[in-house]
Chain A
Amino acid sequence: MIRLAFRKVDHPEEGGPRLAHLDRDRRLVEAAQADPARFEALYRKYLAQVYSFAYYELRDHHEAEDATERTFLAALTNLRRFEERARPADGEGASTFRVWLFQIARNAVAERRRTRRRRPETSLEAAAAIAAPIDIEGDAAIHDDATAAWRAVDRLPGDRRRALVLRFVDEMSTAEIAGVLGRSEGAVRVLIHRALRSLARDLGDPRR
Chain B
Amino acid sequence: MTGVFAGRDGHDVDALVTDRYLDALLAAHAHGGERSPAASESSPAGSESSPAGSELEQRLRRTADRLDRDLPRLHPSFRFEEALAARLADVAARMRLPTTDVAARMRLPTTVGAAGVVVPIAGRASEPRAGGRDDADLRGAAGSRDPRATSRRPRVAYGRPLLIGGALTSAALSLAGAAYVAWRLNRPAVGPMARAVRAVARTRLA
> Which residues of chain A have a CB within 8 Å of any CB of chain B?
14-15, 20-21, 35-37, 39-40, 43-44, 47-48, 51-52, 55-56, 64-65, 68-69, 72-73, 76-77, 130-131, 134-136, 142, 145-146, 148-150, 153, 164-165, 167-169, 171, 173-174, 186, 189-190, 192-193, 196-197, 199-200, 203, 205-207
Contact call A169/B66, Cβ cutoff below 8 A: no
Number of A-B contacts (CB under 8 A): 151
- Count residues on chain B whose CB falls below 8 Å from chain A CBs: 43
Contact call B14/A48, Cβ cutoff below 8 A: no
Contact call B81/A203, Cβ cutoff below 8 A: no
Contact call B66/A52, Cβ cutoff below 8 A: no
Contact call A168/B68, Cβ cutoff below 8 A: yes
Known: A135-B73, A145-B70, A193-B14. 20 other contacts (CB 8 A): A14-B4, A21-B26, A36-B92, A43-B85, A47-B75, A51-B75, A51-B76, A65-B80, A72-B84, A73-B88, A76-B88, A131-B74, A134-B72, A146-B70, A146-B71, A149-B71, A153-B71, A168-B67, A193-B11, A200-B62
Q: Mark contacts of B22-51 with chain A using CB atoms, 8 A cut-off: 1 yes-contact digit, 0 otherwise.
A: 110010011000000000000000000000
Q: Mark contacts of B8-27 with chain A using CB atoms, 8 A cut-off: 1 yes-contact digit, 0 otherwise.
A: 00011011101100110010
Contact call B26/A173, Cβ cutoff below 8 A: yes
Majority-rule SS of B interface residues:
helix
Contact call A199/B63, Cβ cutoff below 8 A: yes
Do A199 and B74 contact each other (CB < 8 Å), given the known contacts A171-B29, A189-B19? Answer: no
CA distance A68 to B88 in the complex (A): 12
Contact call A189/B95, Cβ cutoff below 8 A: no
Q: Closest residue to B62 on the A side, CB-wise?
A: A206
Q: How far is the CB of A144 from chain B (nearest CB, A)?
A: 10
Do A206 and B66 contact each other (CB < 8 Å), given the known contacts A65-B80, A168-B71, A193-B15? Answer: yes
| CB-contacts of B76-100 with A (<8 A) | 76, 80-81, 84-85, 87-89, 91-93, 95-96
CA distance A62 to B28 in the complex (A): 33
Do A37 and B93 contact each other (CB < 8 Å), given the known contacts A131-B74, A153-B71? Answer: yes
- Interchain CB contact (< 8 A) of B75 among A35, A48, A69, A173: A48
CA distance A21 to B81 in the complex (A): 26
CA distance A189 to B20 in the complex (A): 10
Q: How far is the CB of B164 from chain A (nearest CB, A)?
A: 30
Q: Closest residue to A43 on the B side, CB-wise?
A: B88
Q: Closest residue to B70 on the A side, CB-wise?
A: A149
CA distance A56 to B73 in the complex (A): 10
CA distance A205 to B55 in the complex (A): 12
Contact call A65/B76, Cβ cutoff below 8 A: yes
Do A190 and B88 contact each other (CB < 8 Å), given the known contacts A14-B4, A145-B66, A146-B71? Answer: no
Contact call B73/A48, Cβ cutoff below 8 A: yes
B108 within 8 A of A: no
Q: How far is the CB of B97 from chain A (nearest CB, A)?
A: 10
CA distance A7 to B81 in the complex (A): 31
Q: How far is the CB of B72 from chain A (nearest CB, A)?
A: 4
Contacts of A130 in B (CB 8 A): 74
Contacts of B62 in A (CB 8 A): 200, 206-207
Could you show 19 A-B contacts with beta carbons less than 8 Å apart?
A14-B4, A36-B92, A40-B85, A48-B73, A52-B74, A69-B84, A72-B84, A77-B91, A131-B72, A142-B70, A146-B71, A168-B64, A169-B71, A171-B26, A174-B22, A189-B16, A193-B11, A196-B18, A199-B63
Contacts of A48 in B (CB 8 A): 73-76
Contacts of B67 in A (CB 8 A): 149, 153, 164, 168, 196, 199
